[in-house]
C-alpha cells in the first residue's frame, strides 16, 4: 500500500492531469467535477466486474499488494455485516466506533442482521457487489463460504502481521483453516458452560457444580434427596452436549480427512445413551425445551447452556444466585463444544485495492483491540484481550483457564456442515432424547444421511 | 358536431350532410382502452407472478448451486432425483410433503367450518356484535413470528402456562405439545385456526349479508326452520364463496412454514418440517437453486391439481 496507482473513485484529486488540461481549455469547474465523477464511476464499475462472476470454487485473485499493517490510502467506506443483534450488539457498535475514531480515513457501514439472514444473503449480495466487505461468521460456516469463493484467504494478512497461534489459542487458530488456507481471524470463543443454582446446591450440601461423571451422578442423587425432583434438565436440541461428550469418549463427527462420518461409532452411542439415560432415570423431565426458564424459575438446579445465558440472567433475573463453571468430564477425557465468531474478508472487498486494504486494517485492528468485546459475554480469542480487566472481572472468566481452553472442541471445517448437522446428528439427538428411537438406531440412520450429504457435497465442491 | 345541430346554425353550408353517417358516429371507445385499464395490473402480474414462474420453471431444469459453475442444463434430472424416492433429497422432500399433506387435511375442514359457524353467530343481531367481530379478527393481524414465539412459550410442556392451567383444573398436565406427535398436530392446527379464523369469517360474513332477506322470509312463511333455511337458502347462495374459501385455505395450509419452524421447531426430530421448510433449507441455506426450484414446481403442480379437484367437486355438488 506504499504506492497505490489506483485513483480514488471520486473527487478531483484523482483526476489530476486531466483536470489541468481541460481547465486550460476553459471548461468550467462543474464539467471538470462531472468528468471526474464519471471516470470514478467507470473505475469502480470496472473494479467490481472483476469479482462479479458466479462460481469458481477456487479463490479469486488475491489483492495485488501485501497488507502492510496500516492504511494510508484515501478516505474509503467499507461495509461490515454481523449477526450481533442481541445483548452483544451494543458492544460491537462500541468497538466499531472506537475503530473509526482511531482510523478516521475509514468509514465503516455496519449492518446487524439475524445470523440466518446474514448467511442466506451474503452469497448473492457479494456476487452482486452489494454485500459486505467484511463479515462476521461462525467458525463452522467458514468452509461453506470459502468453498463458494464468497470469502477469500487471509494468509497475506496474518503473514504480514506475524500473527500466530500463540496470539490466540491453538484450537481456535487452527479452526479458521480450510484446505490449508486461513479464512477467518477469530474475534471470540463461546462454549457451553455448567450453570448451577447456588441455594439449591447448598440445600443438598454441595458447594459447586460437579466436575466428573461420578460427581454428577452423586450431585443429582443428593439434589433429588433434598427434594429437587428433576435436578438437571436436558432438551432435544442439546446437540452441543452430544458433540462435547462425543469428543470426551474419543470420537469425532467426521474422520480427520473429512471424508467419512464417524459420529455413529461407539463414542457416539455412549454419548447419546448417557443423555437418554438422564431422561429415563428421571433426572431430567421428558420434553423439556425451555431450559433457561426452568433454571431461572428454580425448576432445574443445573443446566448446560451457551454463554448467552450470562447476560440473559442479568437482564431478566438480576440478583439470581448462581454459579458457573466448565462443562463436566463425563467421558474419558476433557472436551467441550466450542464455537467462535470470526472476521472474514469477502471477494467484494478485494475487487477494489483501497477497500481491500481498509478491510484488512479493520479486521486486524478489531482483533487487536477486542477487550471491549468481553462485555458481550463471550471469551475474547486474542490472548492479550483475555488479560484485560474487562474480561478477567467478567462472569465467564473461569471458563478461560488454560486447561478449559485446551479442552475446546471446535466443529470441523466441512462445507455445508450446518445442513448436514440439521438433518443428521441434531435429529438423532432430538429423537433419542425424546425417546422416539434408541440412541444406536437413531445414530445409525443419521450416519447414513450425513454420509450421503457429505459425499454429494464433496463431489459438488470438488474436494 | 355539425350533424348534431344543423338547424341551430344558419344553413350556409352548401355541402349536405349525409344522414347515413349519423349512426356510425356513435362513440364506441378506442380499442386500446381495455388494455390501458388492465395495463397496470398486467405489468405487476407479469413482473411479480409470471416472470418468477417462468424463471422457476427454467431454473428447475438446471443444476444450479450458488457459488459454483455447476452443470448447467440437466433437463428433467432434478425431477427424476426427487421422484426416485432414493437418496436424502428425495426422502426429505417427500417427508416434508407428507407433513404438509397431513397438516392440510387436518386444518382445512376446521378452517372452513369453524369460521362459517362463527360468521353465522356474528351475523345475528346482539349487543356488542362489532366488538366480537373485531375480537375474532384480531389474531389475524399478528405476524407469524409473533404467533410462533408466543405459542412456543405458551405450549411448552414443562414451563408453559397451557399445561399449568390444564393441571389446575385437573386435566393431564404433561402433554408434550411441541415435542411429540400427535400432540404437535393439535398445537399446529389449533394455533393456525386461532390465528386465521377471523380472515375466513370476514369473507363468510360479507357473503352472508348478500343472501337476500326475502328468500329467508319466504322460507320462513313456508314453515322452514332455522336448520332447513341454512341448508336450503344460505348455503346454496354461498356456493361460490365456499368454493373460494376452500381453495385459498388449501393453498394457505399447504404453504405452512412459520408455525412448524417456530412452535414445534420441527420437533420431534424433524417430523414436523413441511415441504416449504425443506425447500427453504435447500434453496436458502444450501443454495441449491435448481433442486429447490424443482421441489417448488412439484408442490405447485400438486396445489393446482388440488384446486382443480375442488372446483370439479363443487361443480358436481352444484348439479345435484
For A419-457, what is each residue's pLDDT tens digit? 999 999 999 999 999 999 999 999 999 999 999 999 998
Bridge partners for A341 per DSSP = A138
Contact status, residue A278 vs residue A234, Cβ threshold 8 Å:
yes
The DSSP letter of residue A134 is: E
Top residue of A128, A289, A348 to mutate, by most chain B CBs within 10 Å, is: A289
Torsions phi, psi for A371 (to 5 deg): -60, -40
Domain residue ranges in chain B: 28-59, 84-319
**Mean pLDDT (whole number) for A81-107:** 91
pLDDT, tens only, A141-189: 999 999 988 999 999 888 888 888 888 999 999 999 999 999 999 999 9
Confidence of residue B15 (pLDDT cuts 50, 70, 90): low
Q: What is the CATH number of domain B84-319?
A: 1.10.3720.10
pTM: 0.82
Whether pLDDT at B282 is above 50: yes
Whether pLDDT at B19 is above 70: no
Encode burial over B239-249: b for 16+ CB neighbours within 10 A, e otherwise. Answer: eebbbbbbbeb
Helices (H), A205-352: 213-225, 239-248, 266-280, 291-296, 308-316
Confidence of residue A87 (pLDDT cuts 50, 70, 90): confident
**Mean pLDDT (whole number) for A183-203:** 93
* Chain B residues inside the 8 Å CB shell of A422: 270, 281
Whether pLDDT at A95 is above 60: yes
Top residue of B91, B158, B266, B282 to mutate, by most chain A CBs within 10 Å, is: B158
Whether pLDDT at A191 is above 50: yes
Q: Do A427 and B269 touch (CB under 8 A)?
A: yes
Q: Do A236 and B159 touch (CB under 8 A)?
A: no
pLDDT, tens only, B136-171: 999 999 989 999 999 999 999 888 899 989 999 988
**Mean pLDDT (whole number) for B256-262:** 92
* Chain A residues inside the 8 Å CB shell of B87: 452
pLDDT at A28: 41
pLDDT, tens only, B107-139: 999 999 999 999 999 988 888 888 988 999 999
pLDDT, tens only, A331-348: 999 999 999 999 999 999
> Maximum CA pair distance of chain B?
104
| B133 contact partners, CB below 8 Å, separation of at least 6 | B122, B202, B205
pLDDT, tens only, B29-82: 788 888 899 999 999 999 999 999 999 999 999 888 887 766 688 888 899 999
Bridge partners for A335 per DSSP = none
pLDDT at B54: 94
pLDDT, tens only, A62-80: 444 567 777 888 899 999 9
ipTM: 0.79
Q: Do A120 and B284 touch (CB under 8 A)?
A: yes
pLDDT, tens only, A360-378: 999 999 988 888 888 888 8
Q: Do A299 and B159 touch (CB under 8 A)?
A: yes
Residues in chain A: 463
Q: Do A430 and B284 touch (CB under 8 A)?
A: no
Please count the residue pairs, one from chain A and one from chain B, whose beta carbons lie less than 8 angstroms apart. Answer: 106
- Residue ranges of A 158-217 with Cβ closer than 8 A to chain B: none
Any idea which residue has 490449508 for its cell? A180
CA A234, A240, A246: angle at the middle one, nearest 5? 100
Would you call B190 an interface residue with chain A, using a CB distance cutoff of 8 Å? Answer: no
pLDDT at B26: 65
* Chain A residues inside the 8 Å CB shell of B85: none
Distance from CA of A58 to the nearest CA of B (A): 10
pLDDT, tens only, B189-212: 999 999 999 999 999 999 998 888
Q: Do B67 and A289 touch (CB under 8 A)?
A: no
Q: Do B88 and A449 touch (CB under 8 A)?
A: yes
* Chain A residues inside the 8 Å CB shell of B153: 290
Contact status, residue B314 vs residue B112, Cβ threshold 8 Å:
no
Q: What is chain A's mean pLDDT, rounded?
A: 84
pLDDT at B82: 92
* Chain B residues inside the 8 Å CB shell of A286: 157, 176
CA dihedral B119, B125, B128, B133 (to 10 degrees): 20
pLDDT, tens only, B209-234: 888 888 888 988 988 888 888 888 88
Would you call B179 an interface residue with chain A, using a CB distance cutoff of 8 Å? Answer: yes
**Mean pLDDT (whole number) for A392-411:** 88
Q: Using DSSP, state whether B304 is helix, strand or coil.
A: helix
Contact status, residue A69 vs residue A162, Cβ threshold 8 Å:
no
More confident position, A276 or A401: A276
Contact status, residue A292 vs residue A364, Cβ threshold 8 Å:
no
Q: Using DSSP, state whether A96 is helix, strand or coil.
A: helix
Q: Tell me the domains of chain A and their CATH numbers.
A: 7-40 (no CATH), 76-187+340-403 (3.40.190.10), 190-339+416-461 (3.40.190.10)
Strands A341-346 and A185-186: antiparallel
Q: How far is it, in rounded angstroms, from Cα B149 to Cα B102?
A: 23
* Chain A residues inside the 8 Å CB shell of B270: 422-423, 427, 430
Would you call B236 an interface residue with chain A, using a CB distance cutoff of 8 Å? Answer: no
Q: Percentage of chain A surpassing pLDDT 70?
A: 86
- Which of A116, A294, A436 faces B158 most closely, judged by CB atoms? A294
Q: How far is it, in rounded angstroms, from Cα A335 to Cα A68?
A: 38
Amino acid at each position: 500500500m506504499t504506492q497505490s496507482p489506483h485513483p480514488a473513485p471520486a473527487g478531483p484529486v484523482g483526476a489530476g492531469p486531466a483536470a489541468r488540461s481541460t481547465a486550460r481549455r476553459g471548461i468550467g469547474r462543474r464539467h471538470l467535477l462531472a468528468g471526474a465523477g464519471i471516470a470514478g464511476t467507470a473505475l469502480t464499475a470496472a473494479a467490481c466486474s472483476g469479482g462479479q462472476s458466479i462460481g469458481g470454487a477456487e479463490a479469486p485473485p488475491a489483492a495485488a499488494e501485501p497488507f502492510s499493517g496500516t492504511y494510508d490510502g484515501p478516505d474509503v467506506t467499507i461495509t461490515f455485516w454481523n449477526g450481533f443483534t442481541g445483548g452483544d450488539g451494543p458492544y460491537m457498535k462500541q468497538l466499531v466506533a472506537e475503530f473509526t475514531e482511531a482510523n478516521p480515513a475509514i468509514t465503516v457501514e455496519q449492518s446487524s442482521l439475524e445470523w440466518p439472514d446474514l448467511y442466506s444473503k451474503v452469497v448473492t449480495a457479494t456476487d452482486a457487489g452489494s454485500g459486505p466487505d467484511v463479515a462476521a461468521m461462525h467458525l463452522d460456516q467458514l468452509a461453506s463460504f470459502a468453498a463458494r469463493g464468497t470469502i477469500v484467504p487471509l494468509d497475506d494478512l496474518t503473514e504480514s502481521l506475524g500473527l500466530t497461534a500463540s496470539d490466540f489459542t491453538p484450537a481456535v487458530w487452527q479452526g479458521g483453516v480450510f484446505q490449508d488456507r486461513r479464512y477467518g481471524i477469530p474475534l471470540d470463543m463461546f462454549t457451553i458452560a455448567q450453570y448451577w443454582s447456588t441455594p439449591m446446591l447448598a440445600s443438598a450440601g454441595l458447594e459447586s457444580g460437579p466436575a466428573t461423571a461420578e460427581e454428577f451422578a452423586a450431585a443429582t442423587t443428593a439434589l433429588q434427596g433434598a427434594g429437587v425432583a428433576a435436578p438437571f434438565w436436558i432438551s432435544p436440541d442439546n446437540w452441543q452436549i452430544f458433540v462435547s461428550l462425543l469428543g470426551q469418549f474419543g470420537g469425532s463427527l467426521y474422520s480427520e480427512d473429512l471424508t467419512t462420518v464417524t459420529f455413529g461409532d461407539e463414542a457416539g452411542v455412549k454419548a447419546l445413551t448417557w443423555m437418554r439415560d438422564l431422561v429415563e432415570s428421571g433426572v431430567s423431565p421428558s420434553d423439556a425445551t425451555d431450559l433457561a426458564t426452568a433454571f431461572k424459575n428454580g425448576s432445574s438446579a443445573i443446566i448446560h447452556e451457551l454463554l448467552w445465558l450470562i447476560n440473559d440472567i442479568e437482564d431478566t433475573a438480576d440478583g439470581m444466585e448462581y454459579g458457573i463453571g466448565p462443562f463436566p468430564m463425563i467421558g474419558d477425557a476433557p472436551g467441550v463444544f466450542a464455537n467462535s465468531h470470526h472476521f472474514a474478508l469477502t471477494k467484494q472487498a478485494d475487487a477494489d485495492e483501497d477497500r481491500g486494504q481498509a478491510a484488512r486494517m479493520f479486521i486486524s485492528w478489531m482483533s487487536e483491540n477486542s477487550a471491549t468485546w468481553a462485555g458481550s459475554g463471550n471469551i475474547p480469542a486474542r490472548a492479550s484481550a483475555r488479560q484485560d480487566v474487562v474480561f478477567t472481572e467478567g462472569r465467564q472468566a473461569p471458563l478461560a483457564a488454560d486447561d478449559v481452553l485446551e479442552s475446546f472442541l471446535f466443529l470441523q471445517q466441512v462445507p455445508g456442515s450446518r445442513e448436514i448437522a440439521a438433518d443428521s446428528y441434531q435429529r438423532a439427538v432430538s429423537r433419542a432424547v425424546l425417546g422416539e428411537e434408541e440412541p444406536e438406531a437413531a445414530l445409525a440412520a443419521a450416519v447414513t444421511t450425513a454420509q450421503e450429504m457429505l459425499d454429494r457435497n464433496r463431489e459438488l465442491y470438488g474436494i | 358536431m355539425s350533424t348534431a345541430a344543423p338547424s341551430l346554425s344558419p344553413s350556409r353550408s352548401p355541402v349536405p350532410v349525409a344522414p347515413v353517417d349519423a349512426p356510425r358516429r356513435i362513440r364506441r371507445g378506442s380499442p386500446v382502452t381495455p388494455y390501458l385499464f388492465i395495463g397496470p395490473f398486467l405489468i405487476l402480474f407479469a413482473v411479480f407472478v409470471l416472470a418468477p414462474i417462468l424463471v422457476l420453471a427454467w431454473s428447475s431444469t438446471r443444476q444450479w448451486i450458488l457459488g459454483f459453475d455447476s452443470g448447467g442444463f440437466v433437463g428433467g434430472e432434478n425431477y427424476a432425483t426427487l421422484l426416485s424416492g432414493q437418496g436424502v433429497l428425495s426422502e426429505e422432500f417427500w417427508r416434508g410433503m407428507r407433513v404438509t399433506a397431513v397438516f392440510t387435511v387436518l386444518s382445512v375442514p376446521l378452517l372452513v367450518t369453524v369460521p362459517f359457524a362463527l360468521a353465522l353467530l356474528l351475523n345475528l343481531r346482539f349487543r356488542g356484535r362489532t366488538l366480537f367481530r373485531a375480537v375474532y379478527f384480531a389474531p389475524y393481524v399478528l405476524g407469524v413470528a409473533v404467533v410462533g414465539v408466543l405459542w412456543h412459550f405458551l405450549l411448552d410442556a414443562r414451563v408453559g402456562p397451557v399445561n399449568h392451567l390444564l393441571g389446575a383444573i385437573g386435566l393431564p398436565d404433561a402433554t408434550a405439545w411441541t415435542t411429540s406427535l400427535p400432540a404437535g398436530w393439535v398445537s399446529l392446527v389449533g394455533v393456525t385456526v386461532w390465528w386465521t379464523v377471523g380472515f375466513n369469517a370476514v369473507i363468510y360474513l360479507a357473503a352472508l349479508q348478500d343472501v337476500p332477506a326475502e328468500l329467508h322470509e319466504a322460507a320462513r312463511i313456508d314453515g322452514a326452520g332455522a336448520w332447513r333455511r341454512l341448508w336450503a337458502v344460505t348455503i346454496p347462495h354461498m356456493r361460490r364463496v365456499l368454493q373460494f374459501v376452500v381453495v385459498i385455505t388449501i393453498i394457505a395450509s399447504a404453504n405452512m412454514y412459520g408455525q412448524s419452524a417456530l412452535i414445534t421447531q420441527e420437533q420431534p426430530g424433524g417430523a414436523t418440517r413441511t415441504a416449504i421448510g425443506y425447500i427453504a433449507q435447500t434453496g436458502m441455506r444450501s443454495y441449491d437453486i435448481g433442486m429447490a426450484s424443482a421441489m417448488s414446481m412439484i408442490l405447485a403442480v400438486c396445489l393446482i391439481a388440488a384446486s382443480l379437484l375442488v372446483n370439479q367437486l363443487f361443480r358436481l355438488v352444484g348439479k345435484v
